[in-house]
Amino acid sequence: MDPAGRPPTISPPPPRRSRRGFVGSLVRQATRSAATAPGRLAAIAVGLVTLTVLTGLVAALSLQQKVDTIDGLVTYDEPLSVAAQEIYRALSDADATAASAFLSGGVEPEGLRARYETDIARAGSALAKASADIGVAAGARAQVDVLSTQLPVYTGLVETARTNNRQGFPSGAAYLREASALMRAQILPAAQELYRMDADRLTRAQDDATDIPWLAVALAVSLAGAIVASQVYLTRTTNRLLNVGLVVASGAVLVALIWSTVALIIESVGVNDGREGGSSQVDALVRIRITALGCRADETLTLVARGDGPGYEQNFARNCGAVSGLGTPDDQLTRARHLADEAEAGAASCAIDAAIGNAKGWHETHRRIRELDDGGDYDRAVTMAIGMEEGNAAADFYELDTNLVNAIAAGRATFYEQTSKAGWALTGLVPGVVVLALVAAGATTMGIRQRLLEYR
């Protein structure tokens, strides 16, 4: 219908007029038919059934989306963020290990070489995982490109350094510096960015999993309202107290509503527990681990540089309070401990406690290494930095790393358990809602058909 205020000079184009004419005639027909009692009943039946089918469809789709999101959380988003952090960890550790191997002099110790090789193998494998699932995230592709093109270049430089070292040439150290610069300036930032993207996606997926499906809720509430209103109308016009069909339909809608609400509440609680006791912990611990790896690299590179030209020790002083375990304001380890306590993550708490002990020991050892080196006792400083015996920095650091790994594993287990449980809460809900919607639609049809028959 034309709004009253429309200027008379503008007339609608002919095709629109004809469609409008068709719709208009339909509306006129319906209005005429609704003026009669049976017509009104038929209209109510069509309206209710349509609303029921629509509600059932929307509810089933949004619940299926939840099920998919939860499946994705445990099979896709979380493993992907773990792959991304493993890329960072392995590469950062490879860099620190290469520096340690260089410090140890001569042909590098078998253990360090093996550690480096394992790091590169794990980084490659994690990178393959990260690139296989790249499709959805456009920003991640750029990071994966940097990683996959520069990693072979890095390993090439390290091998060139190794060859020169074995021949006793100082150009080996130059190649190693170049490799380390490439790692720190290009590869590690890309890996860190990739991890950040994957961690953000995990958080977004968890938000999606705990969102209330508002459209479905609104439809279900209006459906319930419409059924009740129809029942009231029928009671008034037919003088019968209850229509069995509509009662069954109301029951089906009610059961669907209650079932969905309870299931979704259990699911949300599960996902939230998985986040607070699991993935948030893991994220905090991963960041700590990344910082600790950087600090270890700074520690060894200071000794490789022998004199603090490039400022590795300044880096250490600036960044490494975060992994000191001393409870200073910047200390992330102590904060992670509080987080774990709040989430009542017992296994993680224990591992973090142990890590705090290692971190304190490491920082004390680091202080002594600096004292020795600054005091002119370079050889003992090196021994203390790379020695694997108790009380040496390498031993402290590896223990710290192991305990962080344990805490991360505990967090991952919590995440997996809680999120899987959340998924179980939704078991059978989607087919259940579909069946209940069909029951409601069928019962509505039957109930009103019975009344309509009375007009024959």
Partner 1 sequence: MRRFPVVLCAIALLAGGCGGVGAPPEPVTASSASRPLPEGVRFGDTAGGSQGGDTNCANPTASLRPGALAVAPGSTMATIAGKGRLVAGVDQNTYLFGFRNPASGRLEGFDIDVVGWIAKSIFGNGADLSKVVQYKVITSGEREDVLTRGEVDIVVRTYTINCARLQKVDFSAEYYTATQRLLVGKNSAVDGIDDLGGQPVCAATGSTSLAAIGAHPAKPTPVSVVNWSDCLVMLQQGQVAAVSTDDTILAGMLAQDPNLKMVGPALAAEPYGIGIPKGKEDMVRFVNAVLSRAMEDNTWQTSYNHWLGGTGQSAAPPRPKYRD
Binding site for partner 1 (CB under 8 A): 102-106, 141, 145, 149, 153-154, 157, 164-175, 177-182, 185, 305-307, 309-310, 375-379, 382
DSSP letter assigned to residue 169: -
- Cβ atoms of residues 198 and 140 within 8 Å: yes
Quick one: 187 or 293, whose CB is closer to partner 1? 187
Taking the complex as a whole, how short is the minimal distance between the CB of residue 79 and partner 1, in angstroms? 24
CA distance 402 to 397: 9
Quick one: 330 or 377, whose CB is closer to partner 1? 377
Q: DSSP string of 306-374?
A: TS-TT-HHHHHHHHGGGGS-S--TT-HHHHHHHHHHHTT-HHHHHHHHHHHHHHHHHHHHHHHHHHHHH
CA distance 352 to 215: 43
Quick one: 169 or 424, whose CB is closer to partner 1? 169
Quick one: 5 or 376, whose CB is closer to partner 1? 376
Tracing tokens 């038919």 back to the chain, one arrives at 33
Taking the complex as a whole, how short is the minimal distance between the CB of residue 266 and partner 1, in angstroms? 43
Phi, psi of 414 (to 5 degrees): -60, -45
Quick one: 139 or 375, whose CB is closer to partner 1? 375
CA distance 212 to 190: 35
Quick one: 38 or 310, whose CB is closer to partner 1? 310
Quick one: 160 or 203, whose CB is closer to partner 1? 160
Quick one: 305 or 438, whose CB is closer to partner 1? 305
CA distance 288 to 282: 10
Quick one: 247 or 317, whose CB is closer to partner 1? 317
Quick one: 208 or 308, whose CB is closer to partner 1? 308
Taking the complex as a whole, how short is the minimal distance between the CB of residue 307 and partner 1, in angstroms? 4
Tracing tokens 């290692």 back to the chain, one arrives at 358
Choose among 82, 88, 81, 79: nearest CA to 291: 88
CA distance 121 to 113: 12
Taking the complex as a whole, how short is the minimal distance between the CB of residue 113 and partner 1, in angstroms? 14
Taking the complex as a whole, how short is the minimal distance between the CB of residue 155 and partner 1, in angstroms? 12
Taking the complex as a whole, how short is the minimal distance between the CB of residue 149 and partner 1, in angstroms? 5
Phi, psi of 342 (to 5 degrees): -60, -40
Helix (H) and strand (E) counts in the chain: 16, 0
Cβ neighbour number for residue 175 with a 10 Å cutoff = 20
Taking the complex as a whole, how short is the minimal distance between the CB of residue 137 and partner 1, in angstroms? 15
Half-sphere exposure of 181 (CA within 13 A, CB side): 8
CA distance 88 to 310: 22
Taking the complex as a whole, how short is the minimal distance between the CB of residue 372 and partner 1, in angstroms? 11
- Cβ atoms of residues 286 and 323 within 8 Å: no
If you count them, how many residues does the chain have?
456
Taking the complex as a whole, how short is the minimal distance between the CB of residue 299 and partner 1, in angstroms? 17
Taking the complex as a whole, how short is the minimal distance between the CB of residue 373 and partner 1, in angstroms? 9
Host H or E run for residue 384: helix 378-386
- Cβ atoms of residues 164 and 172 within 8 Å: yes
